[in-house]
Amino acid sequence: MKPRRWKIELWVLNFIALSYLALVLVVPMANVFYQAFKDGMEGFWLTFSNEDFRSAAKLTITVAAIAVPLNTVFGLCAAWVLARHRFPGKAIVLSILDLPFSISPVVAGLMIVLLYGRNGWFGGWLEANNVRVVFAFPGIALASAFVSLPFVAREVIPVLEELGKDQEEAARTLGANSWQTFWRVIVPSIKWGLLYGVLLTNARAIGEFGAVSVVSGNIAGDTQTLPLFVETAYKEYQTQAAYSASVALALLAIVTLVAKNILASATKSGEKH
Amino acid sequence: MTLSAHDYGKSRSPIALLLQLIGKVSIPAVVALAIISVMLFLPTVAVFQKALTENWSDIWRIATDSVAVSAYEVTFVTALGAACINGLFGTLLAWVLVRHDFPLKRVVDALIDIPFALPTAVAGLTLSTVYSPNGWIGAFFPDAKISFSRLGVGIAMIFISLPFVVRTVQPILMDLEKDIEEAATCLGANRWQVFFRVIFPTILPAILTGVALGFSRAVGEYGSTVIIASNLPYEDLIAPVLIIQRLEQYDYTGATVIGTVLLLFSLVSLIGINFLQVWGKRYEA
């Protein structure tokens, strides 16, 4: 039996914690949907026939379609190398892997300009070969891939470490080649972690703002991604368009989180069997 | 002699050696190394190389001009404040989520991750509306200018760094055996003593790790802060926005020098967070 005073204190703590969450997070989140739908569905749907919106959505999806597979392949390779091998400088590689998380996205964009911009390291060569990276699609894809680079590796490394290499070695002893070992032994064991990593990569690649705004040039209908469309529309007092696009992006975040929670319970029930 | 040299060359030619080396190194290692070099290492070197094309006195002058110094002050002090507020309330939230039961607890728990998944432009947009004088929350504080001021920057930084402390403290609290607390209570400790002598020392490394992660994230934040700020120098101009302004004026050197300051900060904070995590595991086998 807990004393009565104890119970009141519990209530107070709950109240303070949840009020904080409401002020900082829940109210602003609810506001996204309220602002988008407050003038009815018509205004909301109107945005989706806006040419600039459509082209921004198309660009954003294309960028994700490039960044996500690239980072998935990289993440699997890096996770396997880092979880299965010991080599000098491993701690440094692990730290530098986290750089895209810790660095300002603006600096990430700056890096791309300094490498591929007109006066950058490869600028002369690119110009001679008529390839535009900065203020064009390749730059946006590079920036999105950079900021979402570590997610898959970060999710898969702990799973691989916990798994140990016994099963892999057993498969090899029984005559499986590397490819068979990968698809039949490793992938089935890491699938939930891998899937979550892919989801996070996708959410970040689609939502990236800072790095993309440095390298894109923000030309409506050409190099404007959805997050850039949101900011531009807001600045031009097209509040309805800004919030309609925000709803699309917020739904993406919610789907990602719901999937995360489903994956987490799938992993837990997998552990029980 | 010539014959043996010929034989030697045949069996150990550089190409054969190279092929042997590639045979030893696996394909995943090659892919991982190539992408880390091209995507992470090369760009980092490019920033330092560009900054160092200037001489030291110029670098110092650009890095410490008064607009830049005030931008660092706004960025670092506001971010530290936001991270510390989250240190306090994040710990409380983690505590409530682990130890208390209330309706919709799973939904609340899932909501914590929203700042990780929501595009920052959307966060900036809705925060600046909600905290503006006509907004849902701003209307309650008619005398305080929140949106389009440094206070707004702080709110945006609090938003984007909210999940870090909760998510670092939560697992430690879950692992904390209730037995230890009960033992302390049986030995005559009151609840404050149990908290400050038993629980707090155990979760302190996790709190500090979360605060450091949040601080580092808030310093670099651009999307939400640029939208909620008025971006006036000496008032609420943050360092990442200053970099963008310099780039828009084609001042690549200025942008790079300030970018280098932020990059150095990120590298130092990565090392610091590594140490905090090692310290947090000091009691583990």
Residues of chain B with pLDDT > 90: what percent? 68
Please give, rounded to a whole number of angstroms, the shortest distance from the CA of A273 to a CA of chain B: 22
Q: What is the rounded CA–CA span in Å between residue A136 and residue A215?
A: 8
User: B78-88, pLDDT tens digit by residue?
Assistant: 999 999 999 99
Residue B264 pLDDT more than 60?
yes
Lowest mean pLDDT among A172-186, B155-169, B214-228: A172-186
- What pLDDT, on the 0 to 100 scale, is given for residue B9? 44
Please give, rounded to a whole number of angstroms, the shortest distance from the CA of B222 to a CA of chain A: 6
Residue B157 pLDDT more than 60?
yes
Residue B284 pLDDT more than 80?
no
- What pLDDT, on the 0 to 100 scale, is given for residue B144? 86
- Closest CB to A257: pick one of B113, B120, B259: B113
State which H helix or E strand residue B43 sits in. helix B42-51
Residue B6 pLDDT more than 50?
no
Please give, rounded to a whole number of angstroms, the shortest distance from the CA of B248 to a CA of chain A: 9
Determine which of B125, B153, B182 to mutate to test the interface with A (most A C-beta atoms within 10 Å). B125
Q: Report CB contact under 8 Å: A257, B227.
A: no
Q: If we measure between CA atoms, which residue out of A226, A223, A233, A229 comes closest to residue A252?
A: A226
Residue B1 pLDDT more than 60?
no
Q: What is the rounded CA–CA span in Å between residue A246 and residue B198?
A: 45
Residue A1 pLDDT more than 60?
no
B-chain residues within 8 Å CB-CB of A117? 252
Residues of chain B with pLDDT > 70: what percent? 91
Q: What is the mean pLDDT of residues B35-62?
A: 93
Q: What is the rounded CA–CA span in Å between residue A248 and residue A226?
A: 9
User: Distances from the Cα of A242 to the Cαs of A220, A250, A264, B116, in angstroms?
Assistant: 14, 12, 33, 20
CATH of the domain spanning B65-280? 1.10.3720.10
Q: What is the mean pLDDT of residues B263-279?
A: 89
Q: Which part of chain B has CATH 1.10.3720.10?
A: 65-280
B-chain residues within 8 Å CB-CB of A10? 100
A-chain residues within 8 Å CB-CB of B44? 96, 99, 111
Which two tokens mark A154? 């970060």
Residue B68 pLDDT more than 70?
yes
Residue B99 pLDDT more than 90?
no
B-chain residues within 8 Å CB-CB of A116? none
Residue-range domain boundaries for chain A? 49-272
Q: If we measure between CA atoms, which residue out of A52, A105, A60 comes closest to residue A203?
A: A60
The DSSP annotation for A182-233 comes to IIIIIHHHHHHHHHHHHHHHHHHHHH--HHHHHHH---TTTT--HHHHHHHH
Other Cβ atoms less than 10 A from the Cβ of B36: the count is: 21
Residue B285 pLDDT more than 50?
no
Q: Report CB contact under 8 Å: B27, A77.
A: yes
Q: Give A85's pLDDT tier (boundaries 50, 70, 90).
A: confident
Q: Report CB contact under 8 Å: A85, B123.
A: no
Residue whose tokens read 């900065």: A134
Other Cβ atoms less than 10 A from the Cβ of B249: the count is: 10
Residue B209 pLDDT more than 90?
yes
Which two tokens mark B223? 């999307």
Q: What is the rounded CA–CA span in Å between residue B255 and residue A214?
A: 11
User: A5-19, pLDDT tens digit by residue?
Assistant: 667 888 898 999 999
Q: What is the rounded CA–CA span in Å between residue B219 and residue B240?
A: 8
Right CATH number for A49-272 from 3.40.50.2300, 2.60.120.10, 1.10.3720.10, 3.40.50.300? Answer: 1.10.3720.10
Please give, rounded to a whole number of angstroms, the shortest distance from the CA of B81 to a CA of chain A: 15
Residue B151 pLDDT more than 60?
yes
* Higher pLDDT among residues A179 and A205, named by residue: A205
User: Distances from the Cα of A42 to the Cαs of A39, A48, A242, A244, A252, in angstroms?
Assistant: 8, 10, 15, 11, 22
Which two tokens mark B154? 């702080």
Exposed e or buried b per residue across A20-36, where buried means at least 16 C-beta atoms within 10 angstroms of its C-beta: bbbbbbebbbebbbebb
Q: Give B282's pLDDT tier (boundaries 50, 70, 90).
A: confident
* B212 backbone dihedrals φ, ψ, rounded to 5°: -65, -40
Lowest mean pLDDT among A128-132, A157-161, B17-21, B196-200: B17-21
Q: Within 13 Å of residue A220, how many CA atoms lie on the same side as its CB?
A: 10
Q: What is the mean pLDDT of residues B4-31?
A: 64
Determine which of B122, B191, B281 to mutate to test the interface with A (most A C-beta atoms within 10 Å). B122
DSSP alpha helix (H) spans, chain A: 4-21, 27-37, 40-48, 51-84, 90-97, 99-102, 105-116, 123-128, 137-147, 151-163, 166-173, 178-181, 187-207, 210-216, 226-235, 239-272
- What pLDDT, on the 0 to 100 scale, is given for residue B2? 44
* ipTM summary value: 0.91
SS3 category, B95 = helix
- What pLDDT, on the 0 to 100 scale, is given for residue B56? 93
Q: Report CB contact under 8 Å: A103, B115.
A: no
B-chain residues within 8 Å CB-CB of A97? 36, 40
Shortest CA distance from B127: residue in chain A: A28
- What pLDDT, on the 0 to 100 scale, is given for residue B67? 95
* Higher pLDDT among residues A116 and A172, named by residue: A116
Mean predicted lDDT score pLDDT of chain A: 91
Question: Are B128 and B140 spatial neighbours (Cβ–Cβ below 8 Å)?
Answer: no
- Closest CB to A231: pick one of B46, B121, B129: B121
DSSP 8-state code for residue B234: T
DSSP 8-state code for residue B188: T
Burial (CB count <10 Å: 0-12, 13-18, 19+), residue B136:
middle
Q: What is the rounded CA–CA span in Å between residue B149 and residue B5?
A: 77
Mean predicted lDDT score pLDDT of chain B: 89
- What pLDDT, on the 0 to 100 scale, is given for residue B102? 86
- Closest CB to B137: pick one of A27, A98, A112: A27
